[in-house]
Amino acid sequence: METIHYTQEKMERVKEQVQKMISIVGELEKDFPGRHFTLDGHLVGSIGEVMAAYYYGINLYTASAETHDGEVDGKKVQIKISQQDNLVINHEPDYLIVLYLRKNGDIFEVYNGKGKEPWKNAGKWDSHNNRHMRVNKLMELDAQVKDEDRIPARFPIEKMKKEYKNK
């Protein structure tokens, strides 16, 4: 595993680049009313992974590893990020960190804890072999997580609030 040094400067650079991409998305959505050009998929997933690596000190696995994206202090962690109210999960992780990306590039923590409860509360399997989770439900579950069951943040990250959701 290659060691990458995560710095505040690198995170600010990520935010600047994300703001440029989100501006382009806004232009596309203006040109094509009714279409959504959110930055979901591998792009947003990778942004979430590097942000989580910075905030929580997670050592990331090779991209597209099954179930877990990395580990910290011997704990295997799956990382999810979304710009929408819904996200997908395919396996029950040991630990789960869910982040939310606002259209201005700000990142918030939605859920941080063991993966059992979110997995148990996820929707039924869909036709693509995925289960869906709602951001609001994850925020409710997060409020019940004991501090000792969280991955400690190495840098401050604000908790998600309903009013922060993208419109």
Confidence bin at 128 (pLDDT 50/70/90): confident
How much is the pLDDT for 41? 62
Query: By residue range, what is the domain housing residue 52?
Result: 8-151
Q: Is residue 109 part of a domain?
A: yes
How much is the pLDDT for 1? 64
How much is the pLDDT for 46? 86
Beta bridge partners of 80: 98
CATH number at residue 136: 3.40.210
Give the chain's mean pLDDT: 92
Residue 29 has pLDDT above 90, yes or no: no
Q: Is residue 156 part of a domain?
A: no
> Beta-strand (E) ranges in the chain?
59-60, 70-72, 75-82, 86-89, 95-101, 107-114, 131-134
**What spatial distance separates the first Cα and last Cα of the chain, rounded to whole Å?**
39
Number of domains observed in the structure of the chain: 1
Q: What is the mean pLDDT of residues 61-78?
A: 92
Q: Per-residue DSSP letters for 41-60? A: THHHHHHHHHHHHHHH--EE
Q: Other C-beta atoms within 10 Å of 90: how many?
A: 14
Q: Is residue 3 part of a domain?
A: no
Residues sharing a CB contact under 8 Å with residue 50, sequence separation 6 or more, in sequence order: 6, 14, 60
Query: Has this prediction a pTM greater than 0.75?
Result: yes
Q: Is residue 1 part of a domain?
A: no
Confidence bin at 42 (pLDDT 50/70/90): confident
Lowest mean pLDDT among 127-131, 133-137, 151-155: 127-131
Q: Is residue 97 part of a domain?
A: yes
Tokens read off for 87? 């996200």
Task: Give the distance between the most distant pair of CA atoms in the chain.
Answer: 48
Residue 3 has pLDDT above 90, yes or no: no
Q: Other C-beta atoms within 10 Å of 148: how many?
A: 7
How much is the pLDDT for 167? 82
Confidence bin at 86 (pLDDT 50/70/90): very high
Cβ-contact 76, 66 below 8 angstroms: no
Tokens read off for 107? 């990142």
